Amino acid sequence: MDFSASFALVIPELILTVAGLALLLVAAWGGDKLVRPVAILAAAALFAAGIMTVPGLHSGVDGVGTYAFGTLMKVDSFALFSKALLYLAAIGALMVAPAFFNSVAAGAERGLRAEYPVLILFACLGMSIMVSASDFMTLYLGLELNSLAAYVLASILRQDQRSAEAGLKYFVLGALASGILLYGMSLLYGFTGGTDFVAVRAGLAGELSTGQLFGLTFVLAGLAFKIAAVPFHMWTPDVYEGAPTPVTLFFATAPKVAAVALTARVVFEVFGGQVDAWRQIVMFIALASIIFGALGAIGQDNLKRLLAYSSINNIGFILLGLAVALPAGASAMLIYLFIYVAMSLGSFAALLMLRGDDGGLYETFGDIAGLAVTRPAIAWCLLILMFSLAGIPPLLGFYSKFVVFQATVEAGLVFFAAIAIAASVIGAFYYIKFVKVMFFDEPAGVVAGKSGTAHWVLLGLTTLIVSPLGYLLTPSLADLTDKAAAALFLVP
Protein backbone atom coordinates (compact mmCIF):
# COMPACT_ATOMS: atom_id res chain seq x y z
CA MET A 1 0.00 0.00 0.00
CA ASP A 2 1.40 3.35 -1.02
CA PHE A 3 0.96 5.48 2.05
CA SER A 4 2.43 8.65 0.64
CA ALA A 5 -0.16 8.68 -2.14
CA SER A 6 -2.90 8.01 0.40
CA PHE A 7 -1.72 10.81 2.67
CA ALA A 8 -1.57 13.17 -0.29
CA LEU A 9 -5.23 12.50 -0.90
CA VAL A 10 -6.31 13.30 2.63
CA ILE A 11 -4.37 16.53 3.11
CA PRO A 12 -7.52 18.49 4.07
CA GLU A 13 -8.27 15.98 6.82
CA LEU A 14 -4.67 16.10 7.99
CA ILE A 15 -4.78 19.88 8.21
CA LEU A 16 -7.97 19.71 10.25
CA THR A 17 -6.63 17.00 12.53
CA VAL A 18 -3.37 18.78 13.26
CA ALA A 19 -5.07 22.14 13.68
CA GLY A 20 -7.79 20.63 15.88
CA LEU A 21 -5.33 18.87 18.18
CA ALA A 22 -2.96 21.83 18.40
CA LEU A 23 -5.75 24.30 19.10
CA LEU A 24 -7.19 21.93 21.68
CA LEU A 25 -3.92 22.13 23.58
CA VAL A 26 -3.82 25.91 23.20
CA ALA A 27 -7.38 26.12 24.46
CA ALA A 28 -6.68 23.80 27.36
CA TRP A 29 -3.66 25.74 28.57
CA GLY A 30 -4.50 29.23 27.42
CA GLY A 31 -8.16 29.15 28.39
CA ASP A 32 -10.82 31.50 27.13
CA LYS A 33 -8.39 34.45 26.97
CA LEU A 34 -7.01 33.03 23.75
CA VAL A 35 -10.38 32.39 22.15
CA ARG A 36 -9.93 35.02 19.49
CA PRO A 37 -6.70 33.67 18.00
CA VAL A 38 -8.04 30.13 18.36
CA ALA A 39 -11.15 31.03 16.39
CA ILE A 40 -9.16 32.82 13.72
CA LEU A 41 -6.71 29.94 13.38
CA ALA A 42 -9.58 27.47 13.18
CA ALA A 43 -11.14 29.47 10.38
CA ALA A 44 -7.75 29.66 8.68
CA ALA A 45 -7.35 25.88 8.96
CA LEU A 46 -10.78 25.36 7.41
CA PHE A 47 -9.91 27.80 4.68
CA ALA A 48 -6.59 26.08 4.00
CA ALA A 49 -8.31 22.70 3.89
CA GLY A 50 -10.80 24.20 1.48
CA ILE A 51 -8.00 25.53 -0.75
CA MET A 52 -6.57 22.00 -0.90
CA THR A 53 -9.76 20.79 -2.56
CA VAL A 54 -9.60 23.36 -5.35
CA PRO A 55 -7.14 21.68 -7.79
CA GLY A 56 -9.02 18.40 -7.71
CA LEU A 57 -12.36 20.15 -8.01
CA HIS A 58 -11.15 22.18 -10.92
CA SER A 59 -9.77 19.32 -12.99
CA GLY A 60 -12.25 16.72 -11.76
CA VAL A 61 -10.93 13.52 -10.21
CA ASP A 62 -12.52 10.13 -10.24
CA GLY A 63 -11.75 6.47 -10.72
CA VAL A 64 -9.37 4.08 -9.01
CA GLY A 65 -6.72 6.73 -8.31
CA THR A 66 -8.96 8.39 -5.76
CA TYR A 67 -8.94 5.48 -3.28
CA ALA A 68 -6.89 6.10 -0.16
CA PHE A 69 -5.76 3.50 2.40
CA GLY A 70 -6.88 0.53 0.37
CA THR A 71 -10.58 1.04 -0.16
CA LEU A 72 -11.29 2.83 3.08
CA MET A 73 -11.67 6.30 1.59
CA LYS A 74 -12.48 7.63 -1.83
CA VAL A 75 -11.48 11.23 -2.45
CA ASP A 76 -13.17 11.93 -5.75
CA SER A 77 -14.75 15.12 -7.12
CA PHE A 78 -17.94 14.37 -5.28
CA ALA A 79 -16.18 14.22 -1.93
CA LEU A 80 -14.17 17.34 -2.75
CA PHE A 81 -17.26 19.35 -3.68
CA SER A 82 -19.04 18.38 -0.46
CA LYS A 83 -15.95 19.17 1.60
CA ALA A 84 -15.45 22.59 0.06
CA LEU A 85 -19.10 23.40 0.73
CA LEU A 86 -19.13 22.25 4.33
CA TYR A 87 -15.86 24.04 5.16
CA LEU A 88 -17.36 27.27 3.87
CA ALA A 89 -20.47 26.72 5.99
CA ALA A 90 -18.30 26.04 9.04
CA ILE A 91 -16.37 29.26 8.48
CA GLY A 92 -19.75 31.02 8.48
CA ALA A 93 -20.58 29.40 11.81
CA LEU A 94 -17.26 30.65 13.24
CA MET A 95 -17.83 34.17 11.90
CA VAL A 96 -21.17 34.72 13.60
CA ALA A 97 -20.29 33.15 16.94
CA PRO A 98 -18.35 35.86 18.88
CA ALA A 99 -21.02 38.54 18.65
CA PHE A 100 -23.65 36.11 19.89
CA PHE A 101 -21.72 34.60 22.77
CA ASN A 102 -20.48 38.00 23.95
CA SER A 103 -24.02 39.41 24.24
CA VAL A 104 -26.69 38.90 26.89
CA ALA A 105 -28.26 36.36 24.56
CA ALA A 106 -25.73 33.86 25.88
CA GLY A 107 -27.26 34.17 29.34
CA ALA A 108 -25.16 33.46 32.40
CA GLU A 109 -22.09 32.37 30.48
CA ARG A 110 -21.10 35.37 28.46
CA GLY A 111 -18.08 35.11 26.28
CA LEU A 112 -17.15 32.70 23.54
CA ARG A 113 -15.44 29.64 24.95
CA ALA A 114 -12.30 28.33 23.31
CA GLU A 115 -13.87 24.88 22.86
CA TYR A 116 -16.31 26.20 20.30
CA PRO A 117 -13.87 26.57 17.38
CA VAL A 118 -12.13 23.34 18.31
CA LEU A 119 -15.38 21.42 18.34
CA ILE A 120 -16.33 22.90 14.99
CA LEU A 121 -13.00 21.70 13.62
CA PHE A 122 -13.53 18.17 14.88
CA ALA A 123 -17.07 18.11 13.58
CA CYS A 124 -15.74 19.17 10.17
CA LEU A 125 -13.10 16.49 10.30
CA GLY A 126 -15.79 13.93 10.98
CA MET A 127 -17.85 15.22 8.10
CA SER A 128 -14.83 15.15 5.80
CA ILE A 129 -14.37 11.50 6.59
CA MET A 130 -18.08 10.86 6.11
CA VAL A 131 -18.23 12.31 2.62
CA SER A 132 -15.16 10.45 1.44
CA ALA A 133 -16.02 7.14 3.10
CA SER A 134 -16.07 4.11 0.88
CA ASP A 135 -16.27 1.56 3.63
CA PHE A 136 -18.93 1.21 6.30
CA MET A 137 -16.24 1.37 8.98
CA THR A 138 -14.95 4.75 7.82
CA LEU A 139 -18.48 5.92 7.37
CA TYR A 140 -19.36 5.16 10.95
CA LEU A 141 -16.13 6.62 12.26
CA GLY A 142 -16.73 9.92 10.54
CA LEU A 143 -20.38 10.01 11.46
CA GLU A 144 -19.72 9.51 15.14
CA LEU A 145 -16.84 11.97 15.27
CA ASN A 146 -19.17 14.55 13.78
CA SER A 147 -22.12 13.62 15.97
CA LEU A 148 -20.22 13.64 19.26
CA ALA A 149 -18.81 17.08 18.52
CA ALA A 150 -22.31 18.22 17.55
CA TYR A 151 -23.93 16.99 20.78
CA VAL A 152 -21.49 19.05 22.79
CA LEU A 153 -21.96 22.07 20.56
CA ALA A 154 -25.76 21.93 21.01
CA SER A 155 -25.40 22.12 24.80
CA ILE A 156 -22.44 24.49 24.89
CA LEU A 157 -24.39 26.95 27.05
CA ARG A 158 -24.27 24.75 30.13
CA GLN A 159 -26.39 27.00 32.35
CA ASP A 160 -29.09 27.44 29.75
CA GLN A 161 -31.87 24.89 30.13
CA ARG A 162 -32.97 25.03 26.52
CA SER A 163 -29.44 24.44 25.30
CA ALA A 164 -28.95 21.50 27.67
CA GLU A 165 -32.29 20.05 26.63
CA ALA A 166 -31.37 20.39 22.97
CA GLY A 167 -28.05 18.66 23.53
CA LEU A 168 -29.63 15.79 25.45
CA LYS A 169 -32.40 15.29 22.91
CA TYR A 170 -29.94 15.38 20.09
CA PHE A 171 -27.73 12.88 21.86
CA VAL A 172 -30.46 10.38 22.72
CA LEU A 173 -32.10 10.46 19.31
CA GLY A 174 -28.76 10.61 17.51
CA ALA A 175 -27.60 7.54 19.42
CA LEU A 176 -30.80 5.75 18.46
CA ALA A 177 -30.19 6.64 14.82
CA SER A 178 -26.61 5.42 15.04
CA GLY A 179 -27.91 2.20 16.51
CA ILE A 180 -30.34 1.71 13.65
CA LEU A 181 -27.59 2.45 11.17
CA LEU A 182 -25.18 0.03 12.85
CA TYR A 183 -27.79 -2.68 12.88
CA GLY A 184 -28.37 -2.18 9.17
CA MET A 185 -24.66 -2.24 8.50
CA SER A 186 -24.23 -5.44 10.48
CA LEU A 187 -27.05 -7.08 8.52
CA LEU A 188 -25.44 -6.04 5.27
CA TYR A 189 -22.11 -7.38 6.47
CA GLY A 190 -23.69 -10.63 7.50
CA PHE A 191 -25.48 -11.14 4.21
CA THR A 192 -22.74 -9.95 1.88
CA GLY A 193 -19.55 -10.67 3.74
CA GLY A 194 -17.87 -7.30 3.39
CA THR A 195 -17.82 -3.81 4.78
CA ASP A 196 -16.30 -1.90 1.89
CA PHE A 197 -18.78 -0.49 -0.59
CA VAL A 198 -17.49 -2.45 -3.57
CA ALA A 199 -17.75 -5.78 -1.79
CA VAL A 200 -21.20 -5.06 -0.41
CA ARG A 201 -22.39 -3.96 -3.82
CA ALA A 202 -21.09 -7.16 -5.33
CA GLY A 203 -22.79 -9.17 -2.60
CA LEU A 204 -26.10 -7.46 -3.25
CA ALA A 205 -26.16 -8.37 -6.94
CA GLY A 206 -29.18 -10.28 -8.14
CA GLU A 207 -32.39 -10.66 -6.21
CA LEU A 208 -32.27 -9.21 -2.69
CA SER A 209 -32.77 -11.62 0.17
CA THR A 210 -35.01 -10.58 3.06
CA GLY A 211 -32.02 -9.95 5.29
CA GLN A 212 -30.34 -7.79 2.70
CA LEU A 213 -33.54 -5.82 2.22
CA PHE A 214 -33.77 -5.28 5.96
CA GLY A 215 -30.18 -4.14 6.04
CA LEU A 216 -30.79 -1.67 3.23
CA THR A 217 -33.90 -0.31 4.92
CA PHE A 218 -32.20 0.10 8.29
CA VAL A 219 -29.22 1.87 6.76
CA LEU A 220 -31.52 4.24 4.91
CA ALA A 221 -33.59 4.87 8.04
CA GLY A 222 -30.47 5.70 10.03
CA LEU A 223 -29.27 8.08 7.34
CA ALA A 224 -32.73 9.69 7.09
CA PHE A 225 -32.44 10.38 10.80
CA LYS A 226 -29.17 12.19 10.27
CA ILE A 227 -30.50 14.35 7.44
CA ALA A 228 -33.72 15.00 9.37
CA ALA A 229 -36.10 13.75 6.71
CA VAL A 230 -39.71 12.84 7.49
CA PRO A 231 -40.62 10.51 9.25
CA PHE A 232 -37.36 10.78 11.24
CA HIS A 233 -37.46 14.56 11.63
CA MET A 234 -39.02 14.97 15.07
CA TRP A 235 -35.84 16.08 16.81
CA THR A 236 -35.08 18.92 14.39
CA PRO A 237 -37.40 21.73 15.58
CA ASP A 238 -36.55 21.14 19.24
CA VAL A 239 -32.82 20.98 18.68
CA TYR A 240 -32.81 23.96 16.34
CA GLU A 241 -34.82 26.04 18.77
CA GLY A 242 -32.88 25.07 21.86
CA ALA A 243 -29.34 25.23 20.55
CA PRO A 244 -27.59 28.63 20.56
CA THR A 245 -28.33 30.32 17.21
CA PRO A 246 -24.77 30.14 15.79
CA VAL A 247 -24.82 26.41 16.50
CA THR A 248 -28.22 26.15 14.82
CA LEU A 249 -26.75 27.90 11.81
CA PHE A 250 -24.02 25.27 11.79
CA PHE A 251 -26.46 22.35 12.17
CA ALA A 252 -28.64 23.65 9.36
CA THR A 253 -25.76 23.79 6.91
CA ALA A 254 -22.59 21.71 7.21
CA PRO A 255 -23.95 18.46 8.72
CA LYS A 256 -26.79 18.53 6.20
CA VAL A 257 -24.31 18.70 3.36
CA ALA A 258 -22.29 15.85 4.82
CA ALA A 259 -25.29 13.64 5.59
CA VAL A 260 -26.87 14.19 2.18
CA ALA A 261 -23.57 13.53 0.43
CA LEU A 262 -23.10 10.39 2.49
CA THR A 263 -26.60 9.18 1.68
CA ALA A 264 -26.00 9.82 -1.99
CA ARG A 265 -22.78 7.87 -1.92
CA VAL A 266 -24.35 4.94 -0.08
CA VAL A 267 -27.37 4.66 -2.35
CA PHE A 268 -25.37 5.00 -5.56
CA GLU A 269 -22.22 3.10 -4.69
CA VAL A 270 -23.61 0.42 -2.42
CA PHE A 271 -27.19 0.07 -3.58
CA GLY A 272 -26.50 1.32 -7.12
CA GLY A 273 -27.43 -2.04 -8.59
CA GLN A 274 -30.74 -2.15 -6.71
CA VAL A 275 -32.27 1.16 -7.72
CA ASP A 276 -35.84 -0.12 -7.51
CA ALA A 277 -35.33 -1.28 -3.95
CA TRP A 278 -34.39 2.10 -2.51
CA ARG A 279 -36.03 4.49 -4.92
CA GLN A 280 -39.52 4.00 -3.49
CA ILE A 281 -38.20 4.68 -0.02
CA VAL A 282 -36.41 7.85 -1.09
CA MET A 283 -39.41 9.05 -3.10
CA PHE A 284 -41.69 8.59 -0.12
CA ILE A 285 -39.26 10.33 2.23
CA ALA A 286 -38.84 13.20 -0.22
CA LEU A 287 -42.55 13.81 -0.72
CA ALA A 288 -43.32 13.41 2.96
CA SER A 289 -40.55 15.86 3.89
CA ILE A 290 -41.80 18.44 1.43
CA ILE A 291 -45.39 18.19 2.62
CA PHE A 292 -44.85 17.82 6.37
CA GLY A 293 -42.05 20.36 6.41
CA ALA A 294 -44.38 22.87 4.82
CA LEU A 295 -47.43 22.04 6.93
CA GLY A 296 -45.44 21.97 10.16
CA ALA A 297 -44.01 25.39 9.54
CA ILE A 298 -47.36 27.10 9.07
CA GLY A 299 -48.32 27.21 12.73
CA GLN A 300 -44.92 28.23 14.07
CA ASP A 301 -44.36 31.55 15.78
CA ASN A 302 -40.73 31.01 16.67
CA LEU A 303 -38.52 31.85 13.73
CA LYS A 304 -35.87 29.25 14.56
CA ARG A 305 -38.50 26.51 14.68
CA LEU A 306 -39.90 27.80 11.44
CA LEU A 307 -36.51 27.62 9.77
CA ALA A 308 -36.12 24.10 11.16
CA TYR A 309 -39.27 23.03 9.35
CA SER A 310 -38.08 24.93 6.32
CA SER A 311 -34.90 22.85 6.34
CA ILE A 312 -36.98 19.66 6.48
CA ASN A 313 -38.93 20.96 3.50
CA ASN A 314 -35.74 21.72 1.60
CA ILE A 315 -34.33 18.28 2.35
CA GLY A 316 -37.36 16.91 0.56
CA PHE A 317 -36.45 18.80 -2.59
CA ILE A 318 -32.82 17.70 -2.30
CA LEU A 319 -33.95 14.07 -2.06
CA LEU A 320 -35.99 14.53 -5.25
CA GLY A 321 -32.68 14.81 -7.03
CA LEU A 322 -31.53 11.62 -5.32
CA ALA A 323 -34.68 9.76 -6.35
CA VAL A 324 -33.84 10.43 -9.99
CA ALA A 325 -30.93 7.96 -9.63
CA LEU A 326 -29.08 9.45 -12.60
CA PRO A 327 -26.01 11.71 -12.82
CA ALA A 328 -28.26 14.63 -13.80
CA GLY A 329 -30.22 14.20 -10.60
CA ALA A 330 -27.11 13.97 -8.42
CA SER A 331 -25.72 17.09 -10.07
CA ALA A 332 -29.00 18.94 -9.49
CA MET A 333 -28.94 17.79 -5.88
CA LEU A 334 -25.48 19.29 -5.36
CA ILE A 335 -26.54 22.58 -6.93
CA TYR A 336 -29.54 22.62 -4.62
CA LEU A 337 -27.26 21.92 -1.63
CA PHE A 338 -24.98 24.82 -2.53
CA ILE A 339 -27.86 27.27 -2.86
CA TYR A 340 -29.56 25.88 0.24
CA VAL A 341 -26.41 26.44 2.28
CA ALA A 342 -26.18 30.04 1.07
CA MET A 343 -29.85 30.68 1.91
CA SER A 344 -29.61 29.07 5.34
CA LEU A 345 -26.44 30.92 6.28
CA GLY A 346 -28.08 34.16 5.22
CA SER A 347 -31.36 33.64 7.05
CA PHE A 348 -29.72 32.55 10.31
CA ALA A 349 -27.25 35.41 10.09
CA ALA A 350 -30.23 37.74 9.73
CA LEU A 351 -31.89 36.15 12.77
CA LEU A 352 -28.71 36.80 14.74
CA MET A 353 -28.97 40.46 13.79
CA LEU A 354 -32.43 40.88 15.31
CA ARG A 355 -31.33 42.17 18.67
CA GLY A 356 -32.60 44.74 21.12
CA ASP A 357 -30.77 47.63 22.73
CA ASP A 358 -29.24 45.37 25.35
CA GLY A 359 -28.07 42.83 22.77
CA GLY A 360 -30.78 40.26 23.56
CA LEU A 361 -32.01 38.21 20.62
CA TYR A 362 -35.50 38.34 19.21
CA GLU A 363 -36.88 35.29 17.55
CA THR A 364 -40.65 35.44 17.13
CA PHE A 365 -42.87 36.88 14.43
CA GLY A 366 -44.21 39.56 16.73
CA ASP A 367 -40.72 40.96 17.22
CA ILE A 368 -39.96 41.48 13.55
CA ALA A 369 -43.23 43.28 12.76
CA GLY A 370 -42.57 46.31 10.61
CA LEU A 371 -38.88 45.57 10.31
CA ALA A 372 -38.92 47.19 6.86
CA VAL A 373 -39.44 50.56 8.52
CA THR A 374 -37.12 50.19 11.49
CA ARG A 375 -34.27 48.20 9.91
CA PRO A 376 -34.82 48.33 6.14
CA ALA A 377 -31.49 46.78 5.14
CA ILE A 378 -32.03 43.58 7.17
CA ALA A 379 -35.66 43.45 6.06
CA TRP A 380 -34.79 43.66 2.37
CA CYS A 381 -32.11 41.00 2.69
CA LEU A 382 -34.57 38.74 4.51
CA LEU A 383 -37.17 39.44 1.83
CA ILE A 384 -34.79 38.26 -0.85
CA LEU A 385 -33.81 35.20 1.18
CA MET A 386 -37.41 34.25 1.95
CA PHE A 387 -38.66 34.59 -1.61
CA SER A 388 -35.61 32.62 -2.63
CA LEU A 389 -36.43 29.85 -0.15
CA ALA A 390 -39.95 29.84 -1.51
CA GLY A 391 -38.45 29.28 -4.95
CA ILE A 392 -39.86 32.38 -6.59
CA PRO A 393 -37.90 33.52 -9.65
CA PRO A 394 -35.75 35.47 -10.44
CA LEU A 395 -33.95 34.61 -7.21
CA LEU A 396 -31.45 31.78 -7.10
CA GLY A 397 -33.70 29.63 -4.92
CA PHE A 398 -35.79 29.19 -8.03
CA TYR A 399 -32.79 27.89 -9.91
CA SER A 400 -32.21 25.22 -7.30
CA LYS A 401 -35.77 23.96 -7.66
CA PHE A 402 -35.48 24.39 -11.42
CA VAL A 403 -32.57 21.97 -11.79
CA VAL A 404 -34.03 19.41 -9.41
CA PHE A 405 -37.42 19.37 -11.09
CA GLN A 406 -35.90 19.37 -14.54
CA ALA A 407 -33.88 16.28 -13.66
CA THR A 408 -36.96 14.63 -12.17
CA VAL A 409 -39.11 15.26 -15.23
CA GLU A 410 -36.38 14.23 -17.63
CA ALA A 411 -36.09 10.94 -15.79
CA GLY A 412 -39.77 10.34 -16.51
CA LEU A 413 -41.08 10.90 -12.99
CA VAL A 414 -43.55 13.52 -14.20
CA PHE A 415 -46.41 12.69 -11.86
CA PHE A 416 -44.09 12.61 -8.86
CA ALA A 417 -42.67 16.00 -9.87
CA ALA A 418 -46.14 17.47 -10.30
CA ILE A 419 -47.19 16.46 -6.78
CA ALA A 420 -43.96 17.76 -5.29
CA ILE A 421 -44.16 21.09 -7.08
CA ALA A 422 -47.78 21.57 -6.08
CA ALA A 423 -46.77 20.89 -2.48
CA SER A 424 -44.10 23.57 -2.77
CA VAL A 425 -46.91 26.12 -2.96
CA ILE A 426 -47.87 25.23 0.62
CA GLY A 427 -44.35 26.17 1.60
CA ALA A 428 -44.65 29.52 -0.11
CA PHE A 429 -47.39 30.39 2.37
CA TYR A 430 -45.15 30.73 5.40
CA TYR A 431 -42.25 32.30 3.54
CA ILE A 432 -44.50 35.10 2.35
CA LYS A 433 -45.83 35.38 5.90
CA PHE A 434 -42.29 36.42 6.83
CA VAL A 435 -42.49 39.18 4.25
CA LYS A 436 -45.98 40.12 5.31
CA VAL A 437 -44.93 40.56 8.94
CA MET A 438 -41.85 42.60 8.07
CA PHE A 439 -43.38 44.77 5.37
CA PHE A 440 -47.14 45.02 5.92
CA ASP A 441 -47.51 45.10 9.69
CA GLU A 442 -47.12 48.04 12.01
CA PRO A 443 -43.59 48.36 13.42
CA ALA A 444 -43.00 46.74 16.80
CA GLY A 445 -39.73 48.67 17.04
CA VAL A 446 -38.03 46.29 19.42
CA VAL A 447 -35.15 45.49 17.10
CA ALA A 448 -32.83 48.35 17.84
CA GLY A 449 -29.38 47.00 18.59
CA LYS A 450 -26.34 47.31 16.38
CA SER A 451 -25.15 44.33 14.40
CA GLY A 452 -21.58 43.18 14.06
CA THR A 453 -19.55 43.54 10.88
CA ALA A 454 -19.19 39.77 10.52
CA HIS A 455 -22.97 39.42 10.39
CA TRP A 456 -23.27 42.11 7.77
CA VAL A 457 -20.57 40.49 5.66
CA LEU A 458 -22.21 37.08 5.82
CA LEU A 459 -25.70 38.44 5.19
CA GLY A 460 -24.55 40.68 2.36
CA LEU A 461 -22.56 37.96 0.69
CA THR A 462 -25.31 35.35 0.84
CA THR A 463 -27.93 37.84 -0.32
CA LEU A 464 -25.74 38.70 -3.26
CA ILE A 465 -25.36 35.02 -4.15
CA VAL A 466 -29.09 34.45 -3.86
CA SER A 467 -30.00 37.58 -5.85
CA PRO A 468 -30.36 37.33 -9.65
CA LEU A 469 -26.63 38.06 -9.90
CA GLY A 470 -26.14 34.51 -8.63
CA TYR A 471 -27.14 33.22 -12.06
CA LEU A 472 -23.70 34.28 -13.25
CA LEU A 473 -22.29 31.58 -10.97
CA THR A 474 -24.43 28.82 -12.43
CA PRO A 475 -22.28 27.79 -15.42
CA SER A 476 -19.21 27.13 -13.28
CA LEU A 477 -21.34 25.62 -10.53
CA ALA A 478 -23.00 23.28 -13.02
CA ASP A 479 -19.57 22.34 -14.34
CA LEU A 480 -18.33 21.40 -10.87
CA THR A 481 -21.43 19.48 -9.91
CA ASP A 482 -21.46 17.60 -13.21
CA LYS A 483 -17.91 16.42 -12.55
CA ALA A 484 -18.81 15.50 -8.99
CA ALA A 485 -21.90 13.58 -10.08
CA ALA A 486 -19.96 11.80 -12.79
CA ALA A 487 -17.41 10.63 -10.21
CA LEU A 488 -20.21 9.24 -8.09
CA PHE A 489 -21.59 7.11 -10.89
CA LEU A 490 -18.25 5.70 -11.94
CA VAL A 491 -18.54 2.22 -10.49
CA PRO A 492 -15.25 0.31 -10.59
Site string for other proteins, 31-70 (x = CB under 8 A): ----------------------------------------
The one segment of 162-170, 174-182, 402-410, 444-452 that binds other proteins by CB under 8 A: 402-410
Residue closer to other proteins, measured from CB, 175 or 414:
414
Least distance (Å) between residue 463 CB and other proteins: 14
Q: Which of 32, 165, 238, 410 binds other proteins (CB under 8 A)?
A: 410
Interaction of residue 283 with other proteins, rule CB under 8 A: no
Residue 194 has, within 13 A of its CA and on its CB side, a CA count of 14
Interaction of residue 322 with other proteins, rule CB under 8 A: no
Please tell me the count of residues contacting other proteins according to CB under 8 A: 37
- Residues numbered 429 to 488 that lie near other proteins (CB under 8 A) are 429, 432, 435-436, 439-440, 471-472, 474-475, 477-479
The one segment of 68-76, 150-158, 179-187, 389-397 that binds other proteins by CB under 8 A: 389-397
Q: Which of 21, 137, 414, 448 binds other proteins (CB under 8 A)?
A: 414
Least distance (Å) between residue 413 CB and other proteins: 10
Interaction of residue 422 with other proteins, rule CB under 8 A: yes
- Residues numbered 196 to 225 that lie near other proteins (CB under 8 A) are none
Least distance (Å) between residue 410 CB and other proteins: 4
Q: Which of 172, 394, 491, 492 binds other proteins (CB under 8 A)?
A: 394
Residue closer to other proteins, measured from CB, 143 or 459:
459
Q: Which of 392, 457, 461, 490 binds other proteins (CB under 8 A)?
A: 392
Residue closer to other proteins, measured from CB, 364 or 467:
467
User: 3-state SS string over the chain?
Assistant: CCHHHHHHHCHHHHHHHHHHHHHHHHHHHHHHHHHHHHHHHHHHHHHHHHHHHHHHHHHCCCCHHHEECCCCEECCHHHHHHHHHHHHHHHHHHHHHHHHHCCHHHCCCCCCCCHHHHHHHHHHHHHHHHHCECEHHHHHHHHHHHHHHHHHHHCCCCCCHHHHHHHHHHHHHHHHHHHHHHHHHHHHHHHHCCCEHHHHHHHCCCCCCHHHHHHHHHHHHHHHHHHCCCCCCCHHHHHHHHCCHHHHHHHHHHHHHHHHHHHHHHHHHHCHHHHHHHHHHHHHHHHHHHHHHHHHHHCCCEHHHHHHHHHHHHHHHHHHHHHHCCHHHHHHHHHHHHHHHHHHHHHHHHHHCCECCCCCECCEHHHHCCHHHHCHHHHHHHHHHHHHHCCCCCCHHHHHHHHHHHHHHHCCCHHHHHHHHHHHHHHHHHHHHHHHHHHHCCCCCCCCCCCCHHHHHHHHHHHHHHCHHHHHHHHHHHHHHHHHHHHHCCCC
Interaction of residue 421 with other proteins, rule CB under 8 A: yes
- Residues numbered 327 to 346 that lie near other proteins (CB under 8 A) are none
Residue closer to other proteins, measured from CB, 51 or 411:
411
Least distance (Å) between residue 208 CB and other proteins: 31
The one segment of 94-102, 221-229, 342-350, 401-409 that binds other proteins by CB under 8 A: 401-409
Residues lying near other proteins in the complex (CB under 8 A): 372-373, 380, 387, 392-394, 398-399, 402-403, 405-406, 408-410, 414, 417-418, 421-422, 424-425, 428-429, 432, 435-436, 439-440, 471-472, 474-475, 477-479
